[in-house]
Chain A
């Protein structure tokens, strides 16, 4: 079964650096890009990182992404209160022929 696994929660204090992991398999992250979405409370998701580590225009460089093998990682440096949101990884799955989303990670800024 194709699945992307994320920790359900993460937390940090303002100014800290936090990372969120996303574990997949050869049919998804292993052969395609890993991407990240941010969903602020009550709003639609927003593309945060695409193509493993690229940022769309307007996304601060505090956000960075990386990929290694069948896993991806999102790092947020200089944590701010407005970063409190749900974060989802996503990848195309060659077996399913569709988009897989991770279960989401709720980030709390303490």
Chain B
């Protein structure tokens, strides 16, 4: 069964940095695009970033462009999100999600999420 497990969340001060990881298993990781989607407490879903299967193409929401970097290590079946210059409004549960073949929007598997809290 496909599994995605996020880690790396926690409490960080404004202006600080965090790196999230998403460990994938039971599928050919390098063949699929992957995305990060976040959800602030009590709010809706917000797309953060997408990376192609080979890692050569990356996409970012305007709200995180220049501050967050998505990457992947296909030899380790792991997706990353390096977050810097963190702001209070980055506080959210961060989900990693696997895209189905055919479209980056067809996110057919999701992790359980990891909570990032930005506060002094």
Within 8 A of B (CB), among A49-67: 50-51, 56
Q: Which residues of B contact A98 (CB under 8 A)?
A: 47, 50, 59-61
The reply to whether B111 and A44 form a contact with Cβ atoms under 8 Å apart is: yes
Q: How large is the interface on A (under 10, 10 to 19, 20 to 34, 35 or more residues)?
A: 20 to 34
Report the Cα distance A99→B59, complex, angstroms. Answer: 9
The reply to whether B35 and A45 form a contact with Cβ atoms under 8 Å apart is: no
Report the Cα distance A75→B105, complex, angstroms. Answer: 20
Q: Does A5 have its Cβ within 8 Å of any Cβ on chain B?
A: no
Q: Does B100 have its Cβ within 8 Å of any Cβ on chain A?
A: yes
Q: Does B110 have its Cβ within 8 Å of any Cβ on chain A?
A: yes
Closest to B45 in A: A101
Closest to B44 in A: A104
Report the Cα distance A50→B35, complex, angstroms. Answer: 16
B35, B100, B112: the one within 8 Å of A99 (CB): B35
How many pairs of A and B residues are in contact by the CB < 8 Å rule? 70
Shortest beta-carbon distance, A95 to chain B, in Å? 11
The reply to whether A91 and B110 form a contact with Cβ atoms under 8 Å apart is: no
Q: Does A33 have its Cβ within 8 Å of any Cβ on chain B?
A: yes
Shortest beta-carbon distance, A30 to chain B, in Å? 14
The reply to whether B45 and A88 form a contact with Cβ atoms under 8 Å apart is: yes
Closest 6 pairs between A and B when the two form their complex, measured CB to CB: A99-B47, A44-B110, A104-B44, A101-B45, A50-B106, A47-B108
User: What are 11 residue pairs bridging A and B, where the CB atoms are less than 8 Å apart in the complex?
Assistant: A33-B105, A35-B103, A37-B45, A37-B107, A88-B45, A90-B105, A99-B37, A99-B50, A99-B104, A99-B105, A101-B44
